Structure 1
Amino acid sequence: MPGPFDQHVTFLYAEAPEACWRFYEEVLGLPLAQDQGTCRIYEIAPGSRAFLGVCRARAARVSDDPRVEGGAVVTFVVQDVEGWHARLAAKGVEIASAPRHSEAYRVTSFFFRDPAGYTLEIQRFERPDWPAADG
Structure 2
Amino acid sequence: MGFYPTTDLAATHAFYVGMLGLTLARDQGTCHIYGVAGGGFLGFCLREAVTLPPTVVLTLVTEDVDGVYEALQKACVKIEAAPKHNAEYGIYHFYAQGPSGERVEVQRFEKKLQS
TM-score of the superposition, structure 2-length normalised?
A: 0.87
Higher share of residues assigned strand: 2
- Give the length in aligned residue pairs: 115
Q: Paired residue for 2:109?
A: 125
Q: Paired residue for 1:17?
A: 9
RMSD: 1.8
Q: Which blocks of at least 5 consecutive residues in structure 1 are unaligned?
A: 1-8
In structure 1, C-alpha distance between the alignment counterparts of 2:62 and 2:107, rounded to whole Å: 6
Contact 1:17 1:116 in 2 (8 A): no
Q: 1:85 to 1:60 in 2, by over 3 A?
A: closer
In structure 2, C-alpha distance between the alignment counterparts of 1:85 and 1:15, rounded to whole Å: 24
Match of 2:31 among 27, 39, 44: 39
Q: Per the alignment, in what secondary structure is the counterpart of residue 19 of structure 1?
A: helix
Q: 1:21 to 1:112 in 2, by over 3 A?
A: same
Q: Which blocks of at least 5 consecutive residues in structure 2 are unaligned?
A: none
TM-score of the superposition, structure 1-length normalised?
A: 0.75
Deviating beyond 6 angstroms after TM superposition, the runs of 4 or more aligned structure 1 residues are: none
Higher share of residues assigned helix: 2
Contact 1:13 1:54 in 2 (8 A): yes
Contact 2:63 2:108 in 1 (8 A): yes
User: Greater relative contact order: 1 or 2 (C-alpha under 8 angstroms, separation 6 or more)?
Assistant: 2
1:105 alignment partner AA: Y
Cα drift, residue 127 of structure 1? 3.0
Q: Paired residue for 1:111?
A: 95
Contact 1:64 1:117 in 2 (8 A): no
Cα drift, residue 60 of structure 1? 4.1
1:43 alignment partner AA: G
Tell whether 2:74 aligns with 1:82: no
2:39 alignment partner AA: R
2:60 alignment partner AA: F
Summarize deviations over 1:29-64 as a string: whole Å, max 9, x none: 22111100000111113xx22011111126541x54
In structure 2, C-alpha distance between the alignment counterparts of 1:124 and 1:56, rounded to whole Å: 30
